[in-house]
Amino acid sequence: MNIYFETLGCPKNVNDSEMAAGILEERGHCIVDNPIDSDAIIVNTCGFINDAKKESINKILEMADLKEEESRKRLLIVSGCLSKRYGDELFKEMPEVDIFIGVNEYQELPDILEKHQAERELYIYDSNQKFQEVQNRKLAENPYTATIKIAEGCDNVCAYCIIPHIRGRYRSRKEEDILREAEMLAQKGCRELILIAQDVTAYGIDLYGEFRLAALVKKLCRIDGLQWIRLMYCYEDRITDELIQVMATEEKVCHYIDIPIQHSSDKILQLMNRRSTHESIVNKIQKLRNAMPDIHIRTTLITGFPGETQTEFDELYEFVETTKFERLGVFAYSKEEGTPAADMKGQVRSDVKEKRKDAVMRLQLEISLASNQKKIGQVLQVLVEEQDEEGAYIGRSQYDAPEIDNSVIFNSDKVLKPGDMVQVQITDAFDYDLVGVEV
């Protein structure tokens, strides 16, 4: 069967689709790049916030229209977080979808397809099982950058978040399995390895009784071929001194870290059920910058959380202004049913939430430009990703994660290909991109 994947949402979803595609290929199916050529379309959805849910539903309907327009008989399968969260409702309201699965059914997918008859089916299982190990992951032809999932699920019961309900309790992956996959990725040409989980800093606590991220990173640094190791989704209170030391001393570890702090007001952090405080956040950032003066810290913030008055927002704005994060994204609070925050008093009007979000992003625009302008004259190592129509190359430095952060646009007299690493002198800077020339 020819199968097409449409993947929405975060890098963890992309990783899931790659594993599912590998499982299907191992059972004799063919993964295709165009839905027109498919016998089955799998839409791997995101259900984290309202905008993501809308995007997922629109994509399902788009694929359903394709299914109806084409004379070729094909199955429409919906998987992922939206399906796990709203499977029963979607099954009733979307008769155009043949099969619904959640986030833990990919290993059973070949059997589901083989026994599928004319009836529509719903397969949503428990999320609290052990980490599901998959041997054959479907990768791009040139996987110069790749994610590696080190854990699944989450035990951080943040008041606004539905992820523990969707993906279950935190389950670390065995260290030997992570190292095995990392070796395989390096042998296939991977230069940048991105560690992902709902919370990478909790790695090992359930399996080994202690936080083992620092030790794992040190072992990953010994793998030949890997040049960059990037950490995503780190909780501030679990960024240990040992981890900071490993980041500062191991050459392969990017001086980049994603710390989703969400807010800076102690009142709002407490309402969010976060373990961090304003003081702990400030102190941790200072520790990171003292150990690595060039570190680029990415964070995400939420404006308009229930109970956020103008006073708490002013605290947040001043915090962003003084901290000067190199990378920052902002979400207006999304009221998610089934979460404690949805029933809280002090819900903020939508227009106020959006206005506050826009204010922080305008401020961040200035901060990002100033940060980029400091790089003019510097020489950065750049990972080549593509070439534009005018012949310029587009890549990233160690300070930028794929699909999320800045790009480096540069000229070169050489013929370069995606995955090449070159030295680029920065000659100009914009709000979110750098310009340079290979040296």
Query: Which DSSP string do the residues of 161-181 spell out, in sequence order?
Result: --HHHHH-S-EEPPHHHHHHH
81 marked as part of a ligand binding site: yes
Residue 137 lies in a domain: no
Query: Is the same domain home to 233 and 252?
Result: yes
> Binning pLDDT at 50, 70 and 90, where does residue 104 land?
confident
pLDDT tens profile 37-48: 999 999 999 987
Query: Is the same domain home to 357 and 404?
Result: no
Query: Is the same domain home to 344 and 367?
Result: yes
Query: Is the same domain home to 337 and 423?
Result: no
pLDDT score of 100 = 94
Between CA 192 and CA 206 the distance in angstroms is 27
Tally of CB atoms within 10 A around 255: 17
- CB neighbour class for 390 (10 Å; exposed up to 12, middle 13-18, buried from 19): exposed
Asked if residue 329 has pLDDT above 70, the reply is yes
Under 8 Å between Cβ of 38 and 68: no
To the nearest whole percent, how much of the chain has pLDDT over 70?
98
Query: Is the same domain home to 395 and 351?
Result: no
DSSP state of 127: S
Residue 130 lies in a domain: no
Query: Is the same domain home to 42 and 174?
Result: no
CATH number for position 423? 2.40.50.140
pLDDT tens profile 237-277: 999 999 999 999 999 999 999 999 999 999 999 999 999 99
pTM of the model: 0.91
Q: How many domains does the structure of the chain reveal? A: 3
Residues in the chain: 439
pLDDT score of 135 = 75
pLDDT score of 118 = 67
Question: In Å, what is the CA distance from 57 to each residue of 13, 16, 75, 235, 335?
Answer: 16, 19, 17, 31, 18
Domain enclosing residue 399, as ranges: 379-438
Between CA 393 and CA 432 the distance in angstroms is 16
234 marked as part of a ligand binding site: no
221 marked as part of a ligand binding site: no
pLDDT score of 115 = 84
Residue 271 lies in a domain: yes
Asked if residue 419 has pLDDT above 90, the reply is yes
Residue 138 lies in a domain: no
Mean pLDDT of 299-324: 98
Query: Is the same domain home to 188 and 212?
Result: yes
Query: What does the mean pLDDT of the chain come to?
Result: 94
Query: Is the same domain home to 205 and 272?
Result: yes
Asked if residue 436 has pLDDT above 90, the reply is yes
Helix (H) or strand (E) holding 428: strand 421-429
- Look at residues 319, 339, 373 and tell me which one is the last residue of a structural domain: 373
Mean pLDDT of 9-20: 91
Between CA 382 and CA 121 the distance in angstroms is 47
pLDDT tens profile 112-168: 998 887 678 888 776 666 677 777 888 888 999 999 999 999 999 999 999 888 888
pLDDT tens profile 192-238: 999 999 999 999 999 999 999 999 999 999 999 999 999 999 999 99
Residue 433 lies in a domain: yes
Query: Is the same domain home to 363 and 391?
Result: no
pLDDT score of 22 = 94
190 marked as part of a ligand binding site: no
Locate 322 and state its tokens: 């003084």
CATH number for position 46? 3.40.50.12160
Question: In Å, what is the CA distance from 72 to each residue of 29, 75, 206?
Answer: 17, 10, 48
Query: Is the same domain home to 414 and 347?
Result: no
Asked if residue 70 has pLDDT above 80, the reply is no
- Look at residues 373, 397, 420 and tell me which one is the last residue of a structural domain: 373
158 marked as part of a ligand binding site: yes
- Look at residues 350, 373, 396 and tell me which one is the last residue of a structural domain: 373
**Mean pLDDT highest for which of 68-82, 131-145, 416-430?**
416-430
- What residues contact 185, with CB distance under 8 A and at least 6 apart? 139, 143, 146, 148, 193, 226
CATH number for position 338? 3.80.30.20
Mean pLDDT of 410-425: 97
